[in-house]
Amino acid sequence: MSISLLIPCGAAATPPGDARPAAAAERPFGARDLDLDVTPARDVLALWRQSPPSRSTARRIARALPYRTLRGFFFEQFGCAVTEQEVARALTRPDSGACGFGLDPAYRERAALAEVVSEIQTRGPELTRQVASDAARYLPLAPSWQKVRVWFVIASQTMFDAVTLQTAAAGDSVPLVLVNLSDVLHYGTTASERVDVLSHVLAHEVFHAGLREVAPGLPGWAWYRGAPRSGFAFIASAMVDEGVAHYIDWRGRPGSDSLFTWAPSRRETHSFSQLALACKRLRERSGSVESRMEVLQLASVGPLWSKYGAISGMFAAYRIEMARGLDALREAIAAGPEEFLRVYGEVAAGNPSLSPPPKELVGRR
């Protein structure tokens, strides 16, 4: 999931006169561009090993940047205004709770959470290389990369599992991913199983962070930057950003050979039928403003298989790679949503069993 929390302001100055710096050689995203930081979760678990938990330590955790950022995310996405004092109280008294910080279930599972943290630390270099490689497979090249920081935090279960934010709080513009370890417990029954699944989720989110970093310099993405120009532009953008991220996430999971099949699966066919229906509703302006907004939200938010934009984009990415190869898919991603959908349309035109993209998504206007 990709969310804009704060928008960085300012732009790089143009060198005076004709002096321009030499273009740096482009390179793929790599392990050196990724930082997996378990410190926020580890600090909470250390606090919970104290009897009684230290109030001063809880206040320090609550005011630290990871949990300030988490509070900002909860406020923007869920309308939960939680103070630093309320977070500190929830940390020392998990059964008290605060919006987004109902920590009693996590406290009861603190031993399992500690095992997951230990597994992440043990597999740190290997995990970092794998996640970076999986995301880099589909990211455009860039002259340089800001290091993507992944903060592992502990929050309420079911609020979110992982999210990519535009930037952290307090002016820190490093690309940021938050992972809620409370939800990671649902990924399996052992720490090893949970981190295996987590690696796919991390690659999904790191792709979001990387694409968000390079897209401003890609001409084909100019129409889709900032506020959506139209509902159709929003859906098209979601099909690439969320769709490719979902493809990265699911292509390597056990059982993916039954999901990505030569003949379109029921899920693939259904996602494109829902995509066509959503575009029809937007084209005909049927329903209230609220219902049309709900249609747009469902493109990328909600239960996994209901996110018609993300899922149809996932299958479109698979079809492009299968028919044209990895380089063609990466080029289509770099060229932007319109080109991505045009290439998929060509692939679909050559296979009558595939669903074509709605015509509204191929033209920017």
Digit-coded pLDDT (tens) for 11-38: 333 334 444 455 579 999 999 999 999 9
pLDDT of 350 > 80? The answer is yes
* Pairing mode, strands 162-165 and 176-180: antiparallel
Render pLDDT for 284-326 as a digit per residue (tens, 0 to 9).
887 788 888 999 999 999 888 999 999 999 999 999 999 999 9
Report yes or no on 260 lying in a domain: yes
Averaged pLDDT, 53-63: 96
Same domain, 213 and 225: no
Report yes or no on 14 lying in a domain: no
End-to-end C-alpha distance for the chain, whole angstroms: 26
The span from the CA of 54 to the CA of 342, in Å, is 58
Same domain, 295 and 320: yes
Higher pLDDT, 77 or 131: 131
The span from the CA of 243 to the CA of 316, in Å, is 8
Same domain, 193 and 232: no
What is the total count of domains within the chain?
2
Per-residue model confidence (pLDDT) at position 275: 97
Residues contacting residue 183 through CB under 8 Å, at least 6 positions apart: 157, 158, 159, 160, 161, 162
Render pLDDT for 138-176 as a digit per residue (tens, 0 to 9).
999 999 999 999 999 999 988 899 999 976 444 556 789
> Sheet holding 176-180: strands in order across?
2-3, 162-165, 176-180, 148-153, 34-37
Per-residue model confidence (pLDDT) at position 228: 63
Calculate the CA 163 to chain-centre distance: 5
Which of helix, strand or coil describes residue 235?
Answer: helix
Per-residue model confidence (pLDDT) at position 313: 98
One-letter amino acid at 132 equals A
Is the sign of the CA dihedral 70, 71, 74, 77 positive or negative? negative
Residue that terminates a domain, selected from 183, 217, 251: 217
pLDDT confidence of 341, banded at 50, 70, 90?
Answer: very high
The span from the CA of 15 to the CA of 89, in Å, is 51
Report yes or no on 43 lying in a domain: yes
- Domain range for 261 is 220-362
The span from the CA of 341 to the CA of 358, in Å, is 9
Same domain, 47 and 101: yes
Strands (E), the chain: 2-3, 34-37, 148-153, 162-165, 176-180
The span from the CA of 258 to the CA of 251, in Å, is 10
The structure's pTM equals 0.90
Render pLDDT for 99-123 as a digit per residue (tens, 0 to 9).
888 999 999 999 999 999 999 999 9
Q: How many CB atoms lie within 10 A of CB 262?
A: 8
Same domain, 198 and 319: no
Per-residue model confidence (pLDDT) at position 140: 96
Same domain, 87 and 204: yes
Calculate the CA 231 to chain-centre distance: 20
Task: Output the six-digit token pair for 319.
Answer: 């079809």
Same domain, 257 and 167: no
Residue that terminates a domain, selected from 217, 246, 271: 217
Percent of the chain past pLDDT 90, that is, above it, reads 78
pLDDT of 212 > 90? The answer is yes
pLDDT confidence of 4, banded at 50, 70, 90?
Answer: very low
Report yes or no on 11 lying in a domain: no
pLDDT of 365 > 90? The answer is no
Same domain, 210 and 301: no
Report yes or no on 248 lying in a domain: yes
Report yes or no on 194 lying in a domain: yes
Residue that terminates a domain, selected from 217, 233, 259: 217
Same domain, 97 and 241: no
Averaged pLDDT, 248-258: 93
Averaged pLDDT, 61-69: 95
Radius of gyration of the chain (CA): 21
Number of helices (H), then strands (E), in the chain = 16, 5
Same domain, 60 and 198: yes
Per-residue model confidence (pLDDT) at position 167: 60
Report yes or no on 9 lying in a domain: no
Tokens 């052992």: give the residue: 190
Q: Please state the length of the chain.
A: 365
Q: How many CB atoms lie within 10 A of CB 19?
A: 7
Same domain, 187 and 268: no
Per-residue model confidence (pLDDT) at position 7: 27
DSSP code at position 177: E
Same domain, 306 and 203: no
Per-residue model confidence (pLDDT) at position 229: 74
Per-residue model confidence (pLDDT) at position 166: 72
The span from the CA of 83 to the CA of 98, in Å, is 9
Report yes or no on 22 lying in a domain: no
Considering the chain, what is the average pLDDT of its residues?
A: 90
